[in-house]
A and B are shown apart, each in its own frame.
Chain A
Amino acid sequence: MYTIDLQSRTPIYEQLCKRITELILKGELKPNDKIPSVRELAKGLGVNPNTVSKAFGILERDGIIYSLAGRGSFVAEIKQDSLKEKAFADFDKAVDEALKAGITCEELAERIRGKEESL
């Protein structure tokens, strides 16, 4: 479930942040669920623990997870709205690029429907 692509150009910490946020948005991780420790994730993914810590730090700063000393990290009670806002911000950026590249609104709508079906 905590998969990342080591061949990808996207930095590993960024992929981890996105993946965990995604799992929360999809409801696979619920508020107060415990998430794996830095050690477990670093070993499981074969990456540097400092990188995993960095991702956790960002998620904590953004209020997506919280940590309890000696007990680990947990999913925070987040307002779905704030996650949606974030998703919309990414979406807007992509749409701007697409419109600039001459893709029409209809084509975009078609593509979104296609995505929904494939999920």
Chain B
Amino acid sequence: MIELKGVTKRFEEFTALDNVDLEIGTGTAFGLLGSNGAGKSTILRLLSGIYTADGGNVIIDGQEVFDNVAVKERVFFINDETVQFSGMTLRELKNYYKGFYPNFSEEDFEKLNKIIKLPMDKRIDKFSKGMKRQAIVITGLACRTDYLLLDEAFDGLDPTMRIIVKRMLVDAMLDRQLTTIISSHNLKEINEVCDTAALLHQGKIVFCRDLDSLKGNIHKIQAAFPTNCERGDFADMEILHFEKNQSITYIIAKGEEEFIRERINAKNPLVFDMIPLTLEEIFIYEMEGMGYDFKGID
């Protein structure tokens, strides 16, 4: 289990994480959402022991992560900055990680590279951008860690590679209870791969829930009422967005489906349609609620 307790991380004047509490259960596929600079990568770097927190505790299975080799050899961080190994060949990169991760599986590595066929003895800095990513992804999967952190790693993979990675993750989740944390801007991917997600904004957690209850809890309503209805007429509903276009009223509301239905039906709507939001819509409306207004840009 991963626990962040009151974690704060500053970079000079900038507060990247502000007193964050977060719990991620073992075996979860966890999605980290948020705008650029929200603090997603900072969380992943704290969990992989690259950064040390300025305040609070970063704990994996009961132990502090920073400077703790026993914990760090159970965590693999797949990130974009493969450049640090640029002078190495893939074979050297593999052997480097094999020395650090005791569960490294040559068999997994070969199985994966049989599919994508990266050259083993070519310097990685001569690889294309996509190939560099593939190299670090297959190395990371072959390390067979208990925790796998993917920092936008999914975003740069081609569709075939995505399917392969997804299937590897399914096996790892079922066979050894792998916990995955994925930060991504691709909400469709998060929706498919993850069961729980948190939205970060300016270093704080806006929400953290399992995806099904998250989606079941925000609704988009289209209705036409016989009399003029204003936002104030639904004061007991938690309304994120209220808009009228001629006779049709569009409402985005949080809460139980039954409760919302009851409230709308009480106004005797002529037309009433209610659908759950997609993850993408939830993201946009939540961000709008946080003052992250995208409407100024048309």
Contacts and interface: CB of A to CB of B under 8 A. Distances in A.
A9 B163 contact: no
Interface residues of A, number: 21
Interface string A36-51: 0011001100111111
B277 A46 contact: no
Given A6-B191, A50-B173, A11 B167 contact: no
A43 B170 contact: yes
B26 to A, nearest CB: 12
B27 A50 contact: yes
Interface string A48-75: 1111001000000000000000000000
Given A43-B170, A49-B170, A9 B192 contact: no
Contact of A11 (B29, B166, B215, B271): B215
Contacts of A100: 272
Contact of B195 (A46, A48, A101): A48
B194 A48 contact: yes
B195 to A, nearest CB: 4
B174 A51 contact: no
Contacts of A6: 188, 191-192
Nearest to B27: A50
Interface in B179-199: 188, 191-195
B56 interface: no
A22 B276 CA distance: 23
A47 B160 CA distance: 15
Contacts of B271: 101
Contacts of B170: 39, 42-43, 48-49
A9 B275 contact: yes
A9 B277 contact: yes
A51 B166 CA distance: 14
B12 interface: no
Interface string A1-26: 00000110111110000000000000
A46 B171 contact: no
B265 to A, nearest CB: 8
Given A6-B192, A11-B212, A50 B29 contact: yes
Contacts of B195: 48, 50-51
A48 B195 CA distance: 7
B48 interface: no
Nearest to B166: A46
A46 B192 contact: yes
A7 B194 CA distance: 15
Given A9-B215, A39-B174, 7 more contacts: A7-B188, A38-B174, A46-B192, A49-B173, A50-B29, A54-B212, A97-B272
Interface of B: 27-29, 163, 166-167, 170-171, 173-174, 188, 191-195, 211-212, 215-216, 271-272, 275-278
25 contacts: A6-B188, A9-B215, A9-B276, A9-B278, A11-B215, A12-B192, A39-B174, A42-B170, A43-B166, A43-B167, A43-B170, A46-B163, A46-B166, A46-B167, A48-B173, A48-B192, A48-B194, A48-B195, A49-B173, A49-B174, A50-B27, A50-B28, A50-B173, A54-B212, A101-B271
